[in-house]
Amino acid sequence: MAAHDQGDTWRFVSSRITAEELRISFAGDWSLNQHLPDAEVLAAELGATIHRLGFATDDLLGWDTGFLAILTALFKICAAKGIIVDQSGLPKGVQHLLALAAAVPEQEGAGRDQGRPPLLHQVGTVTIDYFHGLPAMLHFLGELILSLGRLLIGRAQFQFSDLWWEIQEVGPKALGIVSVICFLVGLILAYLGADQLRMAGAQIYIADLVAIGMLREMGAMMTGIIIAGRTGAAFAAQLGTMQVNEEIDAFKTMGISPIDYLVMPRMLALLLMMPILTLYASFIGILAGMLIATTIFHIGVFEYYTETVRALALKHFLVGLSKGTVYGAMVAYAGCLRGMQCGRSAEAVGEAATSAVVTAILLITISASLMTIIYYQLGI
């Protein structure tokens, strides 16, 4: 026999009718705003010998779905213990709502994931999934190549108006952020050079460091990363949303290849704009370097200019442009891949965008290292 009263308005008393039968009498207000207990508090009253459970609710003043949730949980515990529950003591409304909730049995197999596994397990799963994703990545690459082939022989369902629209989205609208970031990178390079070269008394070579550094590496790299965050994520989110809305399915059932129609214009737009953006980025960086060198480190403008022009060999242009183009391809590939792989929920769209950026930066870094090694070996 037990009585509970924590000062809240909900109360219950449990009493043994017989050695086998327990009755719980609810009293007071069992509403959600009354700091309701969980079902364990009630279940604690169920001794080992109990086989039947009944209820009394004469003093029950109020209840809402919170009460129902507790009861449902309690019934589950009873079912597990083999205790027979007699609901007749409950108010009619409670019985009806409980019956409604029980009308559709729990779908076995539908809630397939058994909660969240531990963190280490999750990390492992994510890593393994990443490698399991490789065949899909190659498959997508194959589809892209086929689509490009169709485009070249003029059999693709390709919309030049879409290409034009994407070019505007990708190129001009990125100029602002590219300018800011590459200006600052040029500034950093100039300071770095000034500090290192001062010891050798050769500060004029700041010009070489900034020019070659921007053109060969930093222009393309920074643009690639900006575009990954800006455009890659946008591609993934756009295509992902279309996946959620079944728009991509609608294309497929109409026999219109979503790769031709949606992915190709985006790929080509990036491939066309990236070299231009890279050049622009390098130019801004070099300009910033010149500004710093001439104002802070008192190098003559003409001197600096001549040294820069001398440093800018054609091969550096080619290296920068090729890197920019490859990074652009990587960003477009990652963005479109993750968008097309997107699941069917708002959450999946978010994941697709995140994953697009991560994949793009990974691919950019890998291809940057490869190209650096190759160009070094070739002596370019």
Partner 1 sequence: MQGAAPIEVRDLTVAFGDFVVQRELNFTVAKGDIFVIMGGSGCGKSTLMRALIGLQRPTQGTVLYDGEDFWNAAPERQEQLKRRLGVMFQSGALWSSLTLAENIALPLTEYTTLPPRLISEIVSFKLALVGLAGFERLYPSELSGGMKKRAGLARAIALDPEILIIDEPSSGLDPLTARRLDDLIVELRDSLGTTIIVISHELASILGIGSNSIFLDGETHTMIATGNPQEARRSGPTQVRNFLSRGSL
Ligand X SMILES: Nc1ncnc2c1ncn2[C@@H]1O[C@H](COP(=O)(O)OP(=O)(O)OP(=O)(O)O)[C@@H](O)[C@H]1O
- Binding residues for ligand X, rule: CB under 6 A, are 110, 344
Least distance to partner 1 from the beta carbon of 127, Å? 21
What residue type is assigned to position 365 of the chain?
Answer: T
Alpha-carbon distance 281 to 293, whole Å?
18
Please, what is the minimum distance in Å from the beta carbon of residue 107 to ligand X?
Answer: 6
Burial 277-287 (b: 16+ CB within 10 A, else e): bbbbbbbbbbb
Say whether residue 153 binds partner 1 (CB under 8 A).
no
Instruction: Name the segment binding partner 1 (CB under 8 A); options: 30-38, 220-228, 238-246, 368-376.
Output: 238-246
How far, CA to CA in Å, does 22 sit from each of 44, 87, 98, 178, 328?
A: 12, 13, 20, 74, 72
CA dihedral defined by 292, 294, 296, 297, rounded to 10 degrees?
Answer: 110
Tell me, by CB under 8 A, how many residues bind partner 1. Answer: 19
What DSSP designation does 159 have?
A: -
Q: By rule CB under 8 A, what string of x and - marks binding of each residue 78-107 to partner 1?
A: ---------------------------x-x
From the list 2, 44, 141, 254, which residue makes contact with partner 1 (rule: CB under 8 A)?
A: 254
Residue 134 as a binder of partner 1 (CB under 8 A): the answer is no
Query: Considering only 116-124, 138-146, 249-257, 291-299, which stretch makes contact with partner 1 by CB under 8 A?
Result: 249-257
> What does 172-203 look like in DSSP terms, one character per residue?
GGGHHHHHHHHHHHHHHHHHHHHHHHHHHT-G
User: Closer CB to partner 1, residue 11 or residue 266?
Assistant: 266
User: d(Cα 359, Cα 267) in Å, to the nearest integer?
Assistant: 16
Phi, psi (deg, nearest 5) at residue 341: -85, 0
| Shortest Å distance, C-beta 263 to ligand X | 22
Picked from ligand X, partner 1, none, the partner binding residue 344 (CB below 5 to 8 A depending on kind) is: ligand X
The kind and range of the H/E element at 57 are: strand 52-63
- Out of 35, 76, 155, 252, name the contact with partner 1 by CB under 8 A: 252
Binding site for partner 1 (CB under 8 A): 105, 107, 109-110, 112, 157, 241-242, 245-247, 249-256
